[in-house]
Amino acid sequence: MLIEFKIKNYRSIKDEALFSMVKAPIKGLEKKNTFMPFSDKKDFQLLRSATIYGPNASGKSNILKGLETMQNIVLSSYSKYQRGDKLPVEPFLLDEQSRHLPTEFEVLFIEDGIQYQYGFVASIEKIEEEWLYAYPKKTAQKWFHRIKDEWSFGSNFRGNKKLWSQSTRNNALFLSTAVNMNSKMLQLIHDWFKIKLRILSNAKELWHPSYTYSLCEDDSQKKKVLEFLKIADMDIDDLEIEEKPFDPRVDIPADLPETVRNDLIHTMKDQKLKSVYSIHTDLQGEKVRFSIEKNESEGTKKFISFIGPWIDALENGYVLVIDELHDNFHPLMVRFLIELFHDSDINTKNAQLIFTSHETSVMSQDIFRRDQIWFCNKNKKSTELYSLVEFKTRKGVTDIEKAYLSGRYDALPFFSTPYSLMKKDSREQK
């Protein structure tokens, strides 16, 4: 469960941006859209979903990309980077001082009933600072704090601290190094980034339709996939998967160069190819088979690719992060996907959905609380992130979508040149 994410000096983000999933002290949709992560802390609740709006180039995607970059460094700094390799951080470049400063990342999250605070400061060349605190009770427990080559460890942190710290390269995280050297305590933290945090572009194999198709190999999972399609009114009765051996005489175009052809034959030798079909009922009640790749729309194909990850997230309590959820989807489909996370009978593990969008039709107090709606805007050329909670709105009175589109919350594109002035004067064309 994500509590909050902080980022500073990253791409279009100059000053610290704070994105929070903590319920604000406002009323509305508490039973649907919020949950209590701790049974003994009724005054502390988290949100099941949140969305970020803003014009193109406002930096809303950079908020999510920053979280993805943090995840990548956690998962890769020990195993994939070598000594001297550059870290994938990009400071704010439109300020002379900022472009020479490091980037800061921090997340607060809950795993296995305990709250953790983990973060680091990184330049392109090295990790400048790294820290981890746990909150098994009300007070914080320091597990470790590293400032360049200086280390301090808390009494509650156990393991071969000396070996792990001495083995940590200056461009690698201590967390990544210690986990790869069998730290049991830190494995839980590392696995939150690896398993629980699901970001669209950071798990591409999960967002290809093949992930959903793989679920169909299990009868119980296939039933869930088909139920998903039925609820969404996709007019698909069944999915059929055909598997056949690779045949170079049929499966490789005849006009391919011989070297490419030979490479493909070598790569695909003994492999099996899968063809997937959607089953529809025609006007006479007969079953008709469509090739999904050839006959279904882009929206349908994208929806099918979402089913597997959606089921996975809801069943396992993952944090699902998506950039531009509206792409290729009808507004009612976007609403349907969001409402699945708000349904406590379906979302029994308190999964969370975080996404960016331009789809304003779901910007409604019937769907979202004010603390679930965030905005990005450019302020002095850098990204500013803020919540709708900062503005006064009245339940059932304020039309949030209309207020947003009228410019009340900023975060709208500004066109300085009217379209008419872009046209050539008709007299010049004569």
Q: What are the pLDDT digits (tens) for 220-261?
A: 999 989 988 888 788 899 999 888 787 777 667 777 777 877
The pLDDT of residue 269: 74
Q: What is the average pLDDT value for the chain, to the nearest integer?
A: 87
- Considering only residues 17 and 84, tell me which one the structure prediction assigns the higher pLDDT: 17
User: Could you tell me where the beta strands, DSSP code E, fall in 54-211?
Assistant: 103-111, 114-122, 127-135, 141-147, 150-153, 197-199
The pLDDT of residue 430: 45
Whether the pLDDT of residue 417 is over 90: the answer is no
The pLDDT of residue 217: 86
- Considering only residues 167 and 212, tell me which one the structure prediction assigns the higher pLDDT: 167
Do the Cβ atoms of 123 and 87 come closer than 8 Å?
yes
Lowest mean pLDDT among 272-281, 332-341, 349-358: 272-281
Lowest mean pLDDT among 57-66, 143-152, 228-237, 276-285: 228-237
Strand 382-387 versus strand 373-379 pairing type? antiparallel
- Considering only residues 329 and 422, tell me which one the structure prediction assigns the higher pLDDT: 329
Do the Cβ atoms of 240 and 276 come closer than 8 Å?
yes
What element of type H or E holds 239? strand 238-245
The residue-averaged pLDDT of 143-172 equals: 95
Q: Which pairs with CB-CB distance under 8 Å and at least 24 residues apart come from 336-343?
A: 336/231, 336/232, 337/306, 337/310, 338/49, 338/362, 338/367, 339/367, 340/310, 340/314, 341/48, 341/49, 341/314, 342/29, 342/32, 342/33, 342/48, 342/49, 342/367, 343/32
Whether the pLDDT of residue 208 is over 80: the answer is no
Whether the pLDDT of residue 428 is over 60: the answer is no
The residue-averaged pLDDT of 163-175 equals: 96
Q: What are the pLDDT digits (tens) for 274-325?
A: 788 999 999 999 999 998 888 888 888 888 888 888 899 999 999 999 998 8
pLDDT band at 203 (very low <50, low <70, confident <90, very high): very low
- Considering only residues 330 and 70, tell me which one the structure prediction assigns the higher pLDDT: 70
List Cβ neighbours of 130 (8 Å cut-off, separation of 6 or more).
Answer: 119, 120, 121, 144, 145, 146, 173, 174, 175
The pLDDT of residue 231: 80
Whether the pLDDT of residue 54 is over 70: the answer is yes
In terms of Cα–Cα distance, which of 6, 3, 17 is closest to 59? 17
- In the chain the domains, ranked by start, together with CATH numbers, are 2-203+316-405 (3.40.50), 204-305 (no CATH)
CA 186/CA 74 separation, integer angstroms: 12
The pLDDT of residue 328: 63
The pLDDT of residue 420: 52
Residue 189 class from Cβ within 10 Å (0-12 exposed, 13-18 middle, 19+ buried)? buried
- In this structure, the number of other CB atoms found within 10 A of the CB of residue 334 comes to 20
